[in-house]
Chains A and B, each alone.
Chain A
Amino acid sequence: MKNVYRPIDAEILEVIDETPTIKTFVVEPKEDIGFATGQFMEVTVPGLGEAPFTPSSSPNVKEKIDFTIMSVGKVTEELHRMTKGQMVGVRGPMGKGYPLDAWKGKEILIVGGGVGAAPLRSLFLALVERLDDFKKILYCYGARTPADIVYKELILDKWQKINPKKIEIRTTVDEGDASWKGNVGVVTTVVKDLGIDISNSVGVVCGPPIMMKFGTFALVEHGYPDSAIHLSMEKNMSCGIGKCGHCMLGEYMVCQDGPVMTYDKVKDKPAIWD
């Protein structure tokens, strides 16, 4: 039988500096490992351990996978010391991703913050690659400072230019600097004047806990039904197969029942924003 605990080898092809604390690792898995956007994988640093990350690349690109990772713990600090040519392990994909097929014909509002941009980039690229299926994408993204903005495309209007009629990118920072010309304020300050038909729209929220909370509340205020708000309920997943208990949220094992979950499923669960 297949051993779900066994990672496959993946070679680091490229390391891209995104912010002072965030890098994107482009890896080439040595065996087939497809994923749906929003699903996560466990990445192994040999000799040290593994940690869960959601790929930031398009699910349609099979031969290489991007992981955008903040240096914050034991595994990620060591990852940040690794370079091109070194090997990591990947296992997965795990859990349930974004239900793109169910979103056909809809307008999509994405609210993201900080390193939450990683899974959202994968989602954005997946949406763009089948843009005919969707009416509109409005992507609101907030970072702490201009230096903390994870993907340059979010500042350079590059993503918007893919199709300016259908795509709108709004970027904001909590604190600007001398060169920042854009909006200053938390991400919810740009989640307004949406120009979206809420009755034919779905919302996506992904970011740090406090942003998830107020981002979700903003969508509720705009009239989004709870079942149309998709949250990335990231926890410290360990086994990834619904057994080890680390990611429990009420009766859910986020690694299997999520990580993407609609607000109606989790709103009555204990301490969801903690």
Chain B
Amino acid sequence: MVRLEKGKFDDFIRSLAEDYIVYAAVTAGGKSSFKVVASAGEIDEGRLLTDRSPKEIFFPHSEVLFEYDGDGIRETKKAAKPIAVWGLRGCDVKSLAMLDKVFGTARQMPDNEMFEDPYWKRKYDNSLIFGLACNEPRSTCFCNWLGGGPHSEDASDIFVIDTGEAFLMQPVSDKGKAFIGKMTDAAGASAAGASVAKASGADEKKAAELASGARAMMAEPPALDGLDEKLKGIFHEDIWEEMSAKCVNCGACAFVCSTCHCFDVQDEGKGGKGKRIRIWDSCMFPIFTREASGHNPRHLSSDRFKQRVMHKYSYFVDNYGESLCTGCGRCVIVCPVGVDIREVIKRVLSFEGKGAR
């Protein structure tokens, strides 16, 4: 673990920006999101959770895949520098690792790179992720329901703890170890540009205190064991109409969700010229499944609500062994009609009905 004084933070970000495209939490016009920064002054350092999820760094809302005209196809260029993300909360770090399972691997055709997503991989594969510990989780946070925690290092390259006066940096992955190694190495120090010191015993103690303090702020989570099976069992029950009664299918939950990854492939153009884009889509929208014939397998609002819940806590478990949710709570914050996914989960767990039809 190394210690970076807050006074040196700007130097650190500036030097990082020489080798990386640096993304960090930025608040503008009252809304926060991860944006490219060149200096520490642009960063909303105390931000616990950005309004928009950081998935857009690697999977933008709208991404041009290629352009074409009568002479052929021009693919978009790969960025010259790798991406570094400063200050991702543990839930968001985990979200990216989940999205990497979807985009970066070929589940159905293992090791077949034909089915790995080139646009995701060229950004995520060589990225450097600085996870940032949450010292004061908020009331909508429920990462601890899903195996996470406010001081979880999982999937970070470098895990950072803000002690108030300094950032303590713990290398986690090989990539993170190499980076910290370079920073502390006498020859590499100038390349990294910022001076760090080895963390002291007092620093380590402070880190441990902050971690246990943050954990204590979160309520005891319910046991989610069997949620997957329970969901499958109640697929045909009326409970879905009750739980989704308020839902207006606006899709805001999916938009801010750090793990929702559904998209549509569309063309913008005219007369043989144009560009192919992929754009976020959501199972909340009726046209998501509507076929050209007009037939729609999920024509009811409750069908769509159910699909989102089933995908997150059942289908994704079948395919990837974990829930497609990290408990960031953005959907709870943003829902205009007050649907709280935690209440949905609790209702499902407590439901005692007929079971599967």
Contacts and interface: CB of A to CB of B under 8 A. Distances in A.
Interface stretch (B4-12, B14-22, B270-278): B270-278
Contacts of B316: 251
A6 interface: yes
Contacts of A4: 114-115, 117-118
B102 interface: yes
B108 A48 contact: no
A236 B290 contact: yes
A250 B267 contact: no
Contacts of A198: none
Interface stretch (B44-52, B127-135, B206-214, B291-299): B291-299
Interface string A159-190: 00000000000000000000000000000000
A223 interface: no
B160 interface: no
A76 B269 CA distance: 17
Interface stretch (A58-66, A124-132, A141-149, A238-246): A238-246
A46 B113 contact: no
Contacts of A209: 295
A30 B15 CA distance: 48
B126 interface: no
B344 interface: no
Given A251-B314, A251-B318, A235 B297 contact: yes
A65 B49 CA distance: 51
Contacts of B351: none
B102 to A, nearest CB: 6
B229 to A, nearest CB: 13
B231 to A, nearest CB: 11
Interface stretch (B65-73, B88-96, B197-205): B65-73
A5 interface: yes
A269 to B, nearest CB: 9
Contact of B109 (A245, A256, A270, A271): A256
Contacts of B276: 5
Nearest to A96: B108
Interface string A244-257: 11101011010011
Contacts of A54: none
Interface residues of A, number: 42
Nearest to A238: B265
Interface string B273-292: 11010100101000011111
A42 to B, nearest CB: 8
Interface stretch (B141-149, B182-190, B256-264): B256-264
B235 interface: yes
A245 B265 contact: no
Contacts of A253: 108
A232 B102 CA distance: 24
Contact-residue size bin, chain B (C-beta under 8 Å from the other chain):
35 or more
A209 B291 CA distance: 12
Most chain A CB neighbours (cut-off 10 Å) among B65, B72, B114, B273: B114
A270 B266 CA distance: 28
B311 interface: yes
Contacts, number: 127
A274 interface: yes
Contact of A248 (B116, B264, B281, B307): B307
B266 A245 contact: no
Contacts of A75: 292
Contacts of B62: none
B35 interface: no
Nearest to A250: B315
A245 B283 contact: yes
B115 A76 contact: no
B235 A2 contact: no
Interface of B is mostly: mixed
B104 to A, nearest CB: 10
Interface of A is mostly: loop
A21 B75 CA distance: 35
Given A235-B289, A241-B115, A241-B117, A246 B108 contact: no
Given A1-B118, A72-B292, A274-B297, A239 B311 contact: no
A73 interface: yes
B347 interface: no
Contacts of A44: 267
B308 to A, nearest CB: 10
B235 A5 contact: no
Given A1-B113, A1-B118, A243-B261, A47 B297 contact: no
B108 A245 contact: no
B113 A2 contact: yes
Contact of A5 (B265, B281, B289): B265
B259 to A, nearest CB: 12
B118 A3 contact: yes
Contacts of A46: 68, 267, 269, 272-274
A105 interface: no
Interface of A: 1-7, 9, 44, 46-51, 72-76, 87, 208-209, 235-236, 238-239, 241-246, 248, 250-251, 253, 256-257, 270-271, 274
15 contacts: A2-B118, A5-B265, A5-B278, A44-B267, A46-B267, A46-B273, A47-B267, A47-B270, A51-B292, A72-B292, A238-B263, A241-B106, A251-B316, A256-B115, A271-B297
The 6 residue pairs across chains A and B that have the minimum distance between CB atoms? A73-B292, A245-B262, A256-B108, A47-B269, A251-B318, A251-B315
